[in-house]
Structure 1
Amino acid sequence: ETIYRGIPIQSQCAGAPIHKLCDRVASSTLLEDRRDAVRALKSLSKKYRLEVGTQAMDHLVHILQTDRSDSEILGYALDTLYNIICNDEEEEQDENAQKQEEDLGVLFTDKFLGDSENVTLLLTLLEEFDFHVRWPGVKLLTALLKNQCNQVQGVILVSPMGVSRLMDLLADSREVIRNDGLLLLQQLTKGNAAIQKIVAFENAFERLLDIITEEGSSDGGIVVEDCLLLLVNLLKNNSSNQNFFKEGSYIQRMKPWFEVGDDNSGWSAQKVTNLHLMLQLVRVMVSPVNSPGATSSCQKSMYQCGLLQQLCTILMATGVPADILTETINTVSEVIRGSQINQDYFASVNAPSNPPRPAIVVLLMSMVNERQPFVLRCAVLYCFQCFLYKNQKGQGEIVATLLPSTIDANSISAGQLLCGGLFSADSLSNWCAAVALAHALQDNLTQKEQLLRVQLATSLGKPPVSLLQQCTNILSQVHHTDRQANMLRGGSGQTGPKG
């Protein structure tokens, strides 16, 4: 078995015909002969990938340079290069075979990129409108980006009109080219802020939002998902693009994405995926890691255009899948975090129940309910934290629901739920309620003093004790129990395992 650069050659039987075909490609004066030879190489290139790649690549690149007038031979040459450079992800393979495939992909990508002019040549070929040239060209460039992203990005970045040529793919009337163009742009924009900015200024936001609408928004298929993934690439950790997106009034165009309607039964897996990405995009624009001014400006836009209101409707709707509900809670959290007008709006939202209950109360009921999923309960805690972040008014309203003068015996209040969670038998409820109450006190001396007034009825006929006293009692009981358990294990009264 012959080894080439550490990779075993699959079969020797194709060696002779491949060599002869390469001679025909290199020396035949008739275009028809060269075309037949390249077509034959294409038919062998999947099964005998290593042999075709090592012997034919230079000849195929030469064809791309010299036979520019014949779209058929160009198409065959591009398809052959794609077959030897692309790692086939469709077939199930064992780990060693998959590793060998990937090694070959990198090997031939490096060989092709040995001359950066080859990428420039490929960009020029993408200007050809002929389907048989443009489509395999798009697939080949995508495969090169997958295998050696940084190197290809570097060449495209310095190529005159390089990014512009690739953006033209989104305007192609042939869906398969447009859709594969989306995949190419996803690879191209990965982790490269300079390319992300150029793509954005080439009108990407307008085009992508148009495609999402044309394809049916959240009810659309995989094309919507690909558009959203590209938008995430363009906006995440890119403050310049985020500002451009906001200034271009594109936030307003996100609102219809979240109009899910009353019938929330039978969501497809694709719809769930699309909505997850849509929610992720909202969070990218208002992320706590963005500059405070930029986040505040986006939060304001989301309130003014009704996007926040739309998200709160999903929050209170029935039949929404649990993972979408959880992510919507996280998204609402960051849209209201530190924004007084948004926090005030959230405080006013009621669930469509009879009688109506505040959304905050409905969410806290989920947080202290041990039957609810862990991630949902944590999302509610995060939402509560964001609601109270730099919100002294909200803090005061929450603490007031714990005070005797404001308690309404006929309704469940936030304070009652937090007290119930604080002394529940469920330890996660204890933790969530304690953290939630801590946020009601953070940086707020007035509410700390108010909380000291809170009295709890512990059992019938016994005088009430203060909330602080009850918490201290529980802590001392836990400490006492730990000491007893430790002594039973033969310890000396000190906490911690022995032996």
Structure 2
Amino acid sequence: MNYIWEVVGRHPTGQQPTGAETIQKLCDRVASSTLLEDRRDAVRALKSLSKVTINMPKNKFLCISFSLSEENQQKQEEDLGVQFTDKFIQEPDNITLLLTLLEEFDFHVRWPGVKLLTALLKSQCAPVQGIILVSPMGVSRLMDLLADSREVIRNDGLLLLQQLTKGNTAIQKIVAFENAFERLLEIITEEGSSDGGIVVEDCLLLLLNLLKNNSSNQNFFKEGSYIQKMKPWFEVGDDNSGWSAQKVTNLHLMLQLVRVMVSPVNSPGATTSCQKAMFQCGLLQQLCTILMATGVPADILTETINTVSEVIRGSEVNQDYFASVNAPSNPPRPAIVVLLMSMVNERQPFVLRCAVLYCFQCFLYKNHKGQGEIVATLLPSTIDANSISAGQLLCGGLFSADSLSNWCAAVALAHALQDNLTQKEQLLRVQLATSLGKPPVSLLQQCTNILSQVPSQL
């Protein structure tokens, strides 16, 4: 105890300070000291009084615990925070007590409690999750934070729920069935959707936690008609000149949420039903509008291409719609042609060109009709000298001086032939004019000629 008295000082009367006075003095020192060493000494003294802190009044306990978690900014204090959490959760009743305190409406009790529980989850996520999961109404109490009228508590409650739902399917399901989807979408709308601030981002991150790799929650989201409520997120308007960094982040997360619902790794039936819903509510159409808009940041354009790819992949109705989309140019050009122009343009970013290739692959996936239409643009009887076709762009990329264009065009053509004997035979009819005054050669012959020259160039 001598060490502790050295830290807090003697009582003004010369007597030993009481336990409560000692703890209060240490609390004040942790909260207000400007020197790191003073705060560290106070934290160490509190650690030595851990048995006392467990039995002290609730509000003082929260004050000390929260102060400890704030020390995580420094490496040594991070280690101390982990040690504290280990000791704290050895008694599950401590977490139960904390959950009970979160039911208090008093700001000075509820808000520090939220911060403390968040810090505990960051420090030892899985063990704390396990205790909360078996605690009666544990998750429900935390969901009540989203209904708190005080924004600071609601917003920190979002951060707490993000930590709580990480990697725990059981907790994710409970949170979803506690009306999380409805409340989160309400907050996103209230905060301005894609034009909103960091709160919108936090809501979207929590939604991703709840939906990613969780088929039960995905089905609940679809059955609750929440896909239809996502459509307004992508009504970005015609004036795309003012894209703030936060708006880019928000829209990127929104696109990721769409992709989670139609990911190729989901069960085929679930993906198909979500694709159907996205077409019926106009979400796919809205995404295609962004795809063809001007002034869209490159990273948003790239992610939109990837999102459209997975919304149309293997869906005949969606693929047919995509084939009908035209860019607002004069004269209008098919969206597929505009995208292929970017794919074989070496000045475009690498990730954008790869996204277009992925989109082309998804458009042709199990789409014999689309494959036939692409190969037809290579045949002499269908070539229009006054327009640029998909076939012309693919042939141009195939024989370009840019090696990435060669690869992209070759892979794209391969997908036009995959599992389609008819189009393989049709491709053999394609003739190329290699130079003036010389007869045309078949596409296959030209590819063979180029390949035969490779050894001599090595």
Q: Same fold (TM over 0.5)?
A: yes
Q: 1:224 to 1:90 in 2, by over 3 A?
A: farther
Report the TM-score when normalising by structure 2. 0.85
For the 8 Å contact 2:263–2:310, the answer to whether it is kept is: yes
Summarize the Cα distance change of 1:222–1:443 in structure 2 as closer, same or farther, 3 Å threshold: same
Q: 1-side partners of 2:160 and 2:14: how far apart?
A: 30
TM-score by length of 1: 0.79
Q: 1:374 to 1:202 in 2, by over 3 A?
A: same
Q: 1:400 to 1:211 in 2, by over 3 A?
A: same
Q: How far did 1:25 drift? A: 16
In structure 2, do the counterparts of structure 1 residues 116 and 456 end up closer, same or farther at CA, with 3 Å as the change threshold? Answer: same
Output one character per residue of 1:223-274: Cα deviation in whole Å (capped at 9) or x when no partner.
Answer: 0000000000000000000000000000000000000101111211000000
Shift of 1:99: 2.9
1:425 Cα deviation (Å)? Answer: 0.4
- Using the alignment, how far apart are the partners of 2:13 and 2:147 within structure 1? 42
Partners of 2:66 and 2:115 within 8 A in 1: no
Q: Percent identity?
A: 90
Could you tell me whether the CA contact under 8 Å between 1:2 and 1:9 is conserved in 2? no
Deviation at 1:330, TM superposition (A): 0.3
Q: Deviations over 1:440-471 (max 9, x none)?
A: 00000000000000000000010100000100
CA distance in 2, matches of 1:105, 1:389: 52
- Check whether the contact 1:86–1:143 (CA below 8 A) recurs between aligned residues: no
Distance 1:124 1:384, change over 3 A: same
The size of the alignment, in residue pairs, is 440
Shift of 1:380: 0.1
Q: Which residue of 1 aligns with 2:225?
A: 249
3-state SS of 2:300 partner = helix
Q: Please tell me whether the aligned partners of residues 85 and 143 of structure 1 are also in contact (alpha carbons under 8 angstroms).
A: no
Sort the Cα spacing of 1:416 and 1:293 in 2 relative to 1 into closer, same or farther, 3 A: same
The equivalent residue for 1:140 is 116
CA distance 1:93–1:376, change in 2 (3 Å): farther
Secondary structure of the 2:231 match is helix
CA distance in 1, matches of 2:132, 2:251: 32
Is contact 2:261–2:274 with CA below 8 Å preserved after alignment? Answer: yes
Preserved contact between residue 25 and residue 38 of structure 1 (Cα < 8 Å):
yes
Q: CA deviation at 1:114?
A: 1.6
Per the alignment, residue 288 of structure 1 pairs with 264
Q: Distance in 1 between matches of 2:128 and 2:101?
A: 16
**Per-residue CA distance 1:274-295 (angstroms, 9 max, x = gap):** 0000000000000000000000
How far the C-alpha of 1:112 sits from its partner, in A, is: 1.1
Q: Is the 8 A contact 2:428 2:442 kept in 1?
A: yes
Query: In 2, distance between residues paired with 1:265 and 1:272?
Result: 12
The 8 Å contact of residues 72 and 81 in structure 2, kept in 1 or not, is answered as: no
Alpha-carbon separation, structure 2, partners of 1:313 and 1:29: 54
Q: Counterpart in 1 of 2:62?
A: none
How many Å separate the matches in 2 of 1:352 and 1:224? Answer: 31
Alpha-carbon distance in structure 2 between the residues aligned to 1:27 and 1:460:
84
Q: CA deviation at 1:348?
A: 0.1
CA separation of 1:11/1:467 partners in 2, compared to 1, >3 Å: closer, same or farther? farther
SS across alignment from 1:469: helix
Note the C-alpha offset of 1:101.
Answer: 2.4
1:113, distance to aligned residue in structure 2 (A): 1.0
Q: 1:118 to 1:92 in 2, by over 3 A?
A: closer
Matched residues in 2 for 1:150 and 1:11: separation? 45
Cα 1:11/1:305, change in 2 over 3 Å: farther
Write the distance in 2 (CA, Å) between the matches of 1:442 and 1:254: 34
Change (3 A) 1:193 1:393: same
SS at match of 2:257: helix
RMSD over aligned Cα atoms: 6.9
Contact 1:85 1:109 (8 Å CA) reproduced: no
- Supply the distance in 2 between the matched residues of 1:257 and 1:286 (Cα, whole angstroms): 17
Cα distance change, pair 410–132 in 1 and its aligned pair in 2 (3 A) = same
CA contact (8 A) 2:10 2:16 kept: no
Question: CA offset at residue 26 of structure 1?
Answer: 20
Structure 1 residue aligned with 2:14: 10
The answer to which of 133-142 and 19-28 deviates more is 19-28
- Structure 1 contact 236–284 (Cα < 8 Å) conserved: yes
Judge conservation of contact 1:122–1:137 (CA < 8 Å) in 2.
yes
In structure 2, relative to structure 1, the CA distance for the partners of 1:107 and 1:418 (3 Å cut) is same
Residues 403 and 132 of structure 1: CA distance in aligned 2, closer, same or farther (over 3 Å): same
Instruction: State the 1:104 CA deviation.
Output: 1.1
Asked if the contact 1:127–1:134 (Cα under 8 Å) also holds between the matched residues in 2, the reply is: yes
Give the Cα–Cα distance (whole angstroms) in 1 for the partners of residues 66 and 164 of structure 2: 22
C-alpha displacement at 1:98, in angstroms? 3.7
**Relative to 1, partners in 2 of residues 1:32 and 1:437: Cα closer, same or farther, differing over 3 Å?**
closer
Q: Answer yes or no: is the 8 Å Cα contact 1:85–1:104 preserved in 2.
A: no
3-state SS of paired residue (1:2): helix
Distance 1:158 1:285 in 2: 30
Matched residue SS, 1:425: coil
Indicate if the aligned counterparts of 1:396 and 1:447 stay in contact, CA closer than 8 A.
yes
Residue 24 to residue 476, structure 1, CA distance change in 2 (3 Å)? closer
- The change in CA–CA distance for 1:93 and 1:378 in structure 2 (over 3 A counts) is farther
Q: Distance in 2 between matches of 1:415 and 1:118?
A: 68
1:315–1:3 distance in 2 versus 1, CA, 3 Å: farther
Is the 8 Å Cα contact of residues 86 and 140 (structure 1) preserved in structure 2? no
Contact 2:292–2:328 (8 Å) recurs in 1:
yes
Cα distance change on mapping 1:39 and 1:341 into 2, 3 Å: same
Residue 382 of structure 1 and its aligned partner are, at CA, apart by 0.2
Contact 1:312–1:349 under 8 Å retained in 2:
yes
Change beyond 3 A, Cα 1:10–1:397: farther
Question: Residue by residue, what CA displacement relative to the aligned partner does 1:32-88 show, whole Å, maximum 9, x if unpaired?
Answer: 9999999998999xxxxxxxxxxxxxxxxxxxxxxxxxxxxxxxxxxxxxx99999x
Q: Please give the per-residue CA displacement for 1:404-461, whole angstroms capped at 9, x wherever unaligned.
A: 0100111000000000000000000000000000000000000000000000000001
Of 317, 331, 349, the match for 2:307: 331
Q: Check whether the contact 1:421–1:432 (CA below 8 A) recurs between aligned residues.
A: yes
Q: 1:27 to 1:262 in 2, by over 3 A?
A: closer
